[in-house]
Amino acid sequence: MILGHFSSCPDMKYQTKAGAPEKQRTACLVLAVFERRKLSVPAQAADAACDGALAQILARGDIDGKSGQTLLLQAIEGIAADRVLLVGCGKQKSFDARQYLKAQATAAAALGALGAKDCLNTLTLLEISGRDKAWAVQHAVLAMDAQFYRFDELKSEKAPARTLKTVQLAISNKSKALEQALSLGVATAAGVALSMDLGNRPGNLCTPTDLAEQGLKLANQYKTIDCRVLEEKEMEKLGMGALLSVSRGSREPAKLIVMEYKGGDASATPIALVGKGLTFDAGGISIKPSARMEEMKFDMCGGATVFGVFQALAESDLPLHVVGVVPSSENLPDGAANKPGDVVTSMAGLTIEVINTDAEGRLILCDALTYTQREYKPRVLIDMATLTGACVVALGEHATGLFANNQELAQNLLDAGEQSCDRAWQMPLWEDYQAQIKSTVADIANVGGPGAGAITAACFLHRFTKQANWAHLDIAGTAWTSKKYSTGRPVPLLMQYLAQQAK
């Protein structure tokens, strides 16, 4: 029996397939080769079926098995597949999750260039250090789908249509656990793709109004999602002076987008996700340097994460009650914009001295965090934001900065990051750092000086979340790459965390 799910790529379907791979009719059979031309166990079975033809080919030296290598073979007698794609996987003794994901991405890149309409991928049968078969299936989908992703909606010449339509993932025996892993992988891939799409769109085509429409679109698409949008007048009545102070410099009205996913008991205390939706950040009066300012369209990737997670939740049907809040604005210089030294009043009643108008993310987040706590009283509150360049300096592009006032929550998120290969690294949230954000004229300043910038930003947010079970993810280094392309992170981390919570 073959069970399948469609991926984030509308024309791609993923399935699990049991049975001897060498006997399956498919346009391309994917087999692993380790360094020193060592065939994987599935490849050994295929080699026996073709009377050692694969070993003879390896002996010629066209592929050694190093990570990233591929070799395409046509019509091997004794193997039912039309083609065989050999994929180098590196050293077998050290074959781990990182090498596995690289091998899957390598296979996907090669398959995407072929004329094959379907394939049978046996990399899911490999032994991966510290991982089980369900993990292999779930992350095969994520790794391959990321490779298949393209963003050409704004180009007059679209990329050529991909011939490949179906990916079969080889399994030894069908099981409920493997089908659940496949479903979660496909759902998460869909959420990652949506997050990437939103992040990659330019600021003139992804405004706060556009993000609000995206929330309403999800609500129309899925019965388990509700959405409402608060306008500036409603935010003003609620006392959101910090959030609204950021939008004053823009012609685009701010939006507070509030979504609810009701996949479980809607009366249950929810998990809340709050994502920074700053659709373009020029820095305001404290204007940024012009070099690479175009990348500031990615400053809404925290909000894009919330949308991506909600799509993944709806696709996966996880039995949870989750609230998603996205405060959205632009940060531009204008005669009405915040000035350095201005004092604004947050929804929580704390006054804030705006030392630097480019530290605007915490201003829109603090009101959104207050609103979320008052309206929903969540059992867990997690915010994610491209908040500080200081976090990029500290951790680079490999790990998300994690801050939390509850160690159990922090550990759960760290574990989810390890499991999903969307890793985070915990940073301190010590009371010692609070002294840096003291103000002489207000309750709190919005920056704390040049030292420990990511930490003092988290300390600022903690002033508004001390009564909550709260964590903050600084994704400034992980939300997009140096090639100016969104990554969809940390959707995988959060979906892994939520899947564990659903259990």
Q: Does the active-site annotation cover 466?
A: no
Cα–Cα nearest to 298, from 222, 386, 169, 388: 386
CA count, 13 A, side-chain hemisphere, 176 = 0
Cα–Cα nearest to 366, from 444, 428, 308: 444
CA distance 138 to 69: 23
Residue tagged active-site, from 38, 288, 339, 379: 288
Phi, psi of 291 (to 5 degrees): -60, 125
Q: What is the pTM of this model?
A: 0.95
CA distance 422 to 188: 12
What is the DSSP code string of 265-305? Answer: -TTSPPEEEEE-EEEEE--TTSPPPSTTGGGGGGGGHHHHH
Structure tokens given for 331 = 């940060």
Task: Determine the 3-state secondary structure of 201 from DSSP.
Answer: coil
Confirm if 382 and 406 have CB atoms less than 8 A apart: no
CA distance 162 to 160: 6
Instruction: Name the residue type at position 71.
Output: L
Q: What is the pLDDT of residues 462-472, one digit of tens each?
A: 999 999 999 99
Residue tagged active-site, from 297, 362, 463, 489: 362
CA distance 358 to 457: 12
Structure tokens given for 121 = 């991928």
| Structure confidence at residue 296 (pLDDT) | 97
CA 290 to chain centre: 28
Rounded CA Rg of the chain: 24
Task: Output the tens digit of pLDDT for each of the chain's 503 residues.
Answer: 344 454 455 678 999 999 999 999 999 999 999 999 999 999 999 999 999 999 999 999 999 999 999 999 999 999 999 999 999 999 999 999 999 999 999 999 999 999 899 999 999 999 999 999 999 999 999 999 999 999 999 999 888 888 999 999 999 999 999 999 999 999 999 999 999 999 999 999 999 999 999 999 999 999 999 999 999 999 999 999 999 999 999 999 999 999 999 998 888 999 999 999 999 999 999 999 999 999 999 999 999 999 999 999 999 999 999 999 999 999 999 999 999 999 999 999 999 999 999 999 999 999 999 999 999 999 999 999 999 999 999 999 999 999 999 999 999 999 999 999 999 999 999 999 999 999 999 999 999 999 999 999 999 999 999 999 999 999 999 999 988 999 999 999 999 999 999 98
CA 485 to chain centre: 13
CA distance 461 to 369: 8
Q: Does the active-site annotation cover 362?
A: yes
Collect all residues with Cβ–Cβ distance below 8 Å to 338 and sequence separation of at least 6. 245, 246, 248, 249, 284, 285, 344, 354, 357, 360
